[in-house]
């Protein structure tokens, strides 16, 4: 290119620069215009409309994200605790066969059932643990004490001392469970605290053998993932109510977990709580739990009902307990918890529903009385090895047509006749020899009879899991008192 052409080239440079400035200025003008329009629009809105951006409402209670499962977890989780502890186990070397001891770390879960710090968990979680460490849902760490336990059902009661009222888990019912309904497991699997898993009820009434001597009976099967560390934790329904206590998994299988039905767990816990009270303090009432459809017809309510009157009260058989000492009553465990830590001489207000009429009665706690009924119960424990309570016809299931009631086995004494003959907790004695035994009074008459005491072997007729059984036991040489 000739040198004389260079000035013309230089003449184009300012034009290009001006074009670039024009484009940049135009873009900036567009941005300013959008901001100006937005400001003008916002300025036309009411002052209250200029708050938080609408996106924040997605986490409100009306958001679709706040699903029934989320609500159920929020309802139940505050009363779920994580449990850690070390225990020493015996080990055997596979190569040398020599024995030794090894300390292992254990973990599990528990559920607060009383604001004073009483917790239900599995016995295998806390058994032989020297220091039971508990972590609450809010992160508070403390130690627990083992209060009572039942090896037959693998349930235990522990207690923590926290200087405030603790949240209590809402208790549902396992009476009306449906296969396929949504359930949630909350626990401490592999130490991952407050883990939640969701599934459905896969099956009901499963009997699961543990070893040659122990068997879990009548369990709930679920596909909500349950792993080591979930034991003792709650299986809750879509309302956030506990309907089972997680207890076991099937080794080598996925999506198969088991839980103890809450109705059965509450009955066991009622006995554990009652036994935790001082031995000379009793309310003198024989109680049973029944299922009745609620007035709203939304669920089956569990109602504590007096099975027999006593000379200490004016309460009548069939009275439905509404409250004790101001505590609402739905099942027998509630009664025993209301009695727990009470002292002799204290007065408790009982409110009952008697055929639709509210009746109030004040009961003064006193020493356990040596009533005829108490003596028969004690004699049956000493001579036969069973602790019994009266139950109604409904407790017998399909066998109820031929019987008006029976005697439920609450405990079997180790080494007793009853244990040797294979009686187990929850067996119901409906007859001895040729007589029905619908209640304690009938048992008293039979055990005093010459025919029973002179027989070489007396046949006891039982109902076990709605199936008839019988065992034979040799009467004691001495008559019942």
Q: Is 173 a catalytic residue?
A: no
User: Which of these, 171, 249, 251, 189, lies nearest to 216 by C-alpha position?
Assistant: 249
Q: Are 460 and 437 in contact (CB under 8 A)?
A: no
In the chain, the N- to C-terminal Cα span, in Å, equals 135
User: Which of these, 125, 302, 152, lies nearest to 216 by C-alpha position?
Assistant: 152
**Percent composition of the chain: helix, strand, coil (DSSP 3-state, to 5):** 30, 35, 35
Rounded distance, CA 204 to CA 219, Å?
Answer: 6
The kind and range of the H/E element at 207 are strand 195-209
Handedness of CA 379, 383, 386, 392 (dihedral sign): negative
Q: Are 161 and 191 in contact (CB under 8 A)?
A: no
Among the listed residues 124, 225, 263, 390, the single catalytic one is 124
Among the listed residues 173, 174, 202, 231, the single catalytic one is 231
Q: Are 86 and 103 in contact (CB under 8 A)?
A: yes
**Exposure class string for 357-383: b at 16+ Cβ within 10 A, else e:** eeeeeebebeeeeeeebbebbebbbeb
Q: Is 95 a catalytic residue?
A: no
Q: Is 291 a catalytic residue?
A: no
- Contacts (Cβ under 8 Å, ≥6 apart) of 164: none
Among the listed residues 150, 154, 334, 379, the single catalytic one is 154
Give me 405's structure tokens. Answer: 């009631």
Please report where in the chains the tokens 């052409």 appear, as a residue. Answer: 5
Q: Are 213 and 148 in contact (CB under 8 A)?
A: no
DSSP state of 95: T
- Contacts (Cβ under 8 Å, ≥6 apart) of 204: 177, 179, 220, 221
DSSP state of 2: -
The kind and range of the H/E element at 378 are helix 372-383
Phi (first) and psi of residue 331, to 5 degrees:
-150, 175
Rounded distance, CA 94 to CA 98, Å?
Answer: 8
User: Which of these, 184, 74, 189, 85, lies nearest to 137 by C-alpha position?
Assistant: 74
Phi (first) and psi of residue 164, to 5 degrees:
-165, 160
Residues assigned a catalytic role: 124, 154, 231
């Amino acid at each position: 290119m000739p040198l004389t052409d260079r000035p013309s080239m230089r003449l184009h440079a300012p034009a290009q620069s001006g074009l670039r400035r024009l484009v940049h200025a135009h873009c900036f003008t567009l941005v300013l215009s959008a901001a100006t329009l937005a400001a003008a629009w916002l300025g036309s809105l009411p002052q209250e409309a200029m708050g938080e951006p609408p996106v924040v409402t997605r986490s409100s209670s009306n958001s679709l994200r706040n699903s029934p499962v989320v609500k159920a977890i929020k309802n139940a989780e505050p009363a779920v605790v994580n449990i850690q502890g070390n225990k020493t186990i015996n080990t055997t070397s596979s190569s040398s066969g020599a024995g030794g001891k090894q300390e292992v770390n254990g973990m599990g879960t528990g559920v607060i059932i009383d604001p004073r710090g009483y917790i239900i968990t599995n016995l295998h979680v806390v058994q032989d643990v020297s220091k039971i460490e508990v972590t609450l849902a809010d992160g508070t760490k403390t130690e627990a004490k083992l209060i009572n336990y039942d090896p037959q059902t693998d349930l235990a009661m522990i207690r923590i001392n926290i200087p405030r009222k603790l949240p209590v888990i809402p208790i549902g019912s396992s009476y009306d469970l449906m296969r396929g309904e949504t359930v949630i497991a909350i626990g401490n699997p592999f130490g991952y605290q407050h883990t939640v898993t969701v599934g459905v009820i896969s099956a009901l009434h499963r009997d699961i053998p543990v070893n040659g001597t122990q068997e879990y009976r009548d369990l709930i099967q679920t596909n909500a993932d349950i792993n080591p560390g979930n034991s003792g934790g709650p299986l809750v329904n879509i309302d956030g109510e506990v309907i089972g206590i997680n207890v076991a998994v099937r080794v080598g299988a996925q999506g198969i977990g088991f839980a103890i039905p809450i109705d059965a767990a509450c009955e066991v816990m009622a006995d554990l709580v009652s036994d935790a009270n001082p031995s000379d303090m009793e309310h003198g009432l024989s109680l049973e739990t029944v299922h009745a459809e609620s007035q709203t017809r939304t669920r089956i309510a569990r109602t504590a009902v007096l099975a027999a009157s006593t000379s200490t009260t004016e309460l009548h058989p069939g009275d439905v307990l509404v409250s004790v000492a101001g505590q609402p009553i739905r099942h027998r465990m509630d009664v025993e918890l209301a009695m727990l830590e009470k002292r002799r001489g204290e007065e408790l207000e009982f409110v009952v529903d008697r055929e639709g009429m509210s009746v109030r009665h004040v009961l003064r706690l006193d020493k356990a009385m040596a009533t005829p009924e108490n003596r028969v119960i004690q004699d049956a424990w000493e001579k036969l090895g069973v602790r019994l309570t009266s139950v109604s016809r409904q407790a017998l299931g399909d066998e109820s047509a031929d019987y008006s009631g029976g005697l439920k086995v609450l405990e079997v004494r180790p080494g007793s006749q009853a244990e040797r003959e294979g009686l187990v907790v929850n067996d119901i004695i409906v007859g001895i020899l040729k007589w029905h035994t619908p209640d304690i009074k009938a048992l008293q008459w039979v055990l005093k009879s010459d025919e029973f005491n002179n027989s070489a072997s007396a046949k006891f007729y039982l109902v076990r899991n709605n199936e008839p059984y019988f065992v034979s036991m040799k009467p004691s040489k001495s008559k019942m008192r």
